[in-house]
């Protein structure tokens, strides 16, 4: 694909601030920003990080061409020295991130940016839109995939996606989180995500009758043949005509890999009836696929009520995360460096406790119980702390500090990895298949209680004693108005 120049895909106030920093003589001040989210969509127990690949592509290509500078100049508010600098802009800071496919939890950094103030400010909008959108779709997708209990789920949402990039990048996020494939050919071309699809109702309608439509299709595409059986009447014509065609066209060729798709009506009832008809016709290997505005709740009900569905095609409610369509990631300043390079922690205080930030340049660890391999908690500490060699650790709730637990016999894994250092890319993005496999392994390492759809267990994200003390001191100092 031809790359678009997305430098101006940015909130306007990022430019006014960057220009202001430059004129105030602090544009080169090194600052630290954390990108994190506050609540898991749909009341779930965890989210899934996605979108880092797109962030990397953006940072690598970020530049302002002549038309961009001309536009900024036309606004009449930006200084010529700043515009001159922007015409030669290249990101030369550091970015650390949690790898795509990692289960993530509220209030822990997903991305940390260390860069000059002007640069860190300008990249905020794009980082947020990438991580917010794709983490949202990955999180919603995994709920749907888990609801299907091992049955195949296909992503069918392109025509309802909110924009072209939302369609093909959303398909990528969905694949990371567990769908078997997508309807989007571009996602197959770009990322190697299996694209699939057979027919729409228009194929059936364009022929003189349903039988001819099915027979023609089966003759052209005998392998993996899937027939849409609800154009007229599922049980009275669709399934009987599909059975007739499978027996006339496929079975004589020794082909048993086939399916029918039901796209409307009472899926549970129709699939049970269709399954009986297919079995009685000697087609026990013929699969039944269901589509039509599905989500995790409808899929779970179909299965619980005895629906005989082998796979699901899920569209609009996945690609738009319809039930809870905002991820809510934020990008907050957490530290600055002084003239000597010392890191000075910064905090934002709010009457809304959930909006109070955790200051400083930080490390993020995940603790795994050695006996089971399950994740115990996440642990955030100051950048100069490490868990290397630590065999016993006291955890405490950052808000309810009397809630304490000492953990032993654990393995600590640092989650954030360097992506850019000094503006140079130092991270090689894994292939999407590797990210997907990693995602599935990491979700398996979560306790079932954390994965509940309703009232999931609260997975603990704890602060080190040192980090908690720094936060407490800043709260006391700034909260008192001094």
Mean pLDDT of 122-150: 98
351 falls in which pLDDT band (50, 70, 90)? confident
In 262-374, which residue ranges form alpha helices assigned H by DSSP?
A: 267-280, 296-304, 316-319
Residues of the chain with pLDDT > 70, as a percent, come to 99
Residue 411 has pLDDT above 60, yes or no: yes
Decide the pairing of beta strands 258-262 and 225-228.
parallel
Q: What is the pTM of this model?
A: 0.95
Supply the pLDDT for residue 2.
59
What does the pLDDT read at residue 402?
Answer: 87
Q: From CA 162, how far away is CA 133, in angstroms rounded?
A: 11
Find the mean pLDDT for residues 388-417.
Answer: 91
pLDDT (average), residues 168-178: 97
* pLDDT cut 90: percent of the chain above it: 94
**Whether pLDDT at 452 is above 60:** yes
> Residue 177 — φ and ψ, nearest 5°?
-90, 0
Is 430 a residue whose pLDDT tops 70? Answer: yes
Q: DSSP 3-state assignment of 112?
A: strand
Q: What is the pLDDT, as a whole number, of residue 1?
A: 54
Distance CA 51, CA 136 (A): 10
Please state which CATH number belongs to domain 144-319. 3.20.20.70
**For residues 314 and 291, what is the distance between their CA atoms, to the nearest angstrom?**
6
- Give residue 482's pLDDT band: very low, low, confident or very high (50, 70, 90): very low
pLDDT of residue 222: 97
252 falls in which pLDDT band (50, 70, 90)?
very high
Assess if CATH 3.40.50.1370 describes domain 12-137+325-479: no
Contact 239, 263 (CB under 8 A): no
pLDDT above 70 for 480: no
Per-residue pLDDT, 479 = 72
Tokens of 73: 């100049």
Note the pLDDT tens digit of each residue in 16-70.
999 999 999 999 999 999 999 999 999 999 999 999 999 999 999 999 999 999 9
Domain ranges of the chain: 12-137+325-479, 144-319
What are the tens digits of pLDDT across the range 205-250? 999 999 999 999 999 999 999 999 999 999 999 999 999 999 999 9
Q: Do domains 12-137+325-479 and 144-319 have the same CATH topology?
A: no
């Amino acid at each position: 694909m031809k790359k678009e120049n997305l430098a101006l895909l940015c909130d306007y106030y990022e430019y006014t601030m960057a220009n202001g920093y430059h004129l105030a003589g602090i544009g080169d001040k090194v600052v630290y920003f954390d990108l994190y989210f506050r609540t898991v969509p749909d009341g779930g127990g965890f989210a899934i990080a996605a979108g880092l690949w797109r962030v990397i592509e953006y940072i690598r290509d970020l530049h302002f061409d002549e038309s961009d500078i001309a536009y900024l100049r036309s606004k009449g508010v930006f200084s010529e020295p700043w515009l001159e600098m922007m015409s030669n802009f290249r990101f030369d800071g550091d970015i650390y991130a949690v790898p795509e496919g990692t289960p993530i939890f509220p209030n822990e950094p997903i991305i940390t940016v260390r860069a000059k103030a002007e640069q860190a400010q300008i990249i905020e909008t794009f980082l947020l839109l990438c991580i917010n959108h794709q983490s949202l779709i990955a999180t919603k997708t995994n709920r749907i995939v888990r609801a299907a209990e091992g049955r195949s789920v296909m992503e069918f949402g392109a025509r309802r996606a909110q924009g072209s990039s939302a369609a093909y990048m959303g398909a990528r996020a969905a694949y990371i989180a567990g769908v078997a494939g997508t309807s989007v050919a571009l996602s197959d071309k770009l990322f190697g995500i299996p694209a699939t699809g057979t027919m729409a109702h228009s194929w059936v309608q364009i022929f003189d009758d349903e039988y001819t439509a099915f027979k023609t299709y089966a003759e052209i595409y005998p392998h993996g043949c899937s027939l849409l059986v609800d154009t007229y009447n599922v049980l009275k014509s669709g399934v009987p005509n599909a059975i007739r065609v499978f027996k006339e066209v496929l079975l004589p060729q020794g082909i048993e890999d086939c399916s029918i798709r039901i796209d409307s009506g009472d899926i549970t009832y129709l699939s049970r009836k269709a399954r009986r008809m297919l079995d009685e016709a000697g087609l026990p290997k013929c699969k039944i696929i269901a589509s039509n505005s599905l989500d995790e709740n409808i899929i779970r009900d179909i299965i619980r009520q005895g629906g005989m569905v082998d796979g699901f095609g899920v569209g609009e409610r996945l690609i738009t995360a319809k039930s809870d369509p905002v991820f809510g990631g934020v990008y907050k300043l957490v530290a600055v460096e002084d003239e000597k390079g010392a890191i000075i922690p910064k905090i934002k205080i709010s009457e809304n406790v959930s909006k109070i930030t955790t200051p400083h340049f930080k490390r993020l660890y995940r603790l795994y119980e050695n006996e089971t391999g399950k994740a115990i908690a996440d642990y955030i500490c100051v950048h100069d702390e490490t868990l290397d060699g630590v065999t016993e650790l006291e955890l405490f709730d950052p808000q309810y500090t009397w809630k304490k637990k000492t953990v032993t016999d654990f393995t600590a894994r640092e989650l954030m990895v360097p992506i850019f250092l000094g503006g140079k890319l130092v991270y090689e993005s894994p292939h999407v298949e590797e990210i997907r496999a990693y995602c599935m392994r990491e979700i398996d390492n979560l306790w079932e209680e954390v994965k509940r759809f309703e009232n999931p267990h609260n997975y603990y994200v704890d602060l080190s004693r040192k980090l908690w003390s720094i936060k407490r001191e800043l709260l006391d100092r700034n909260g008192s108005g001094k």
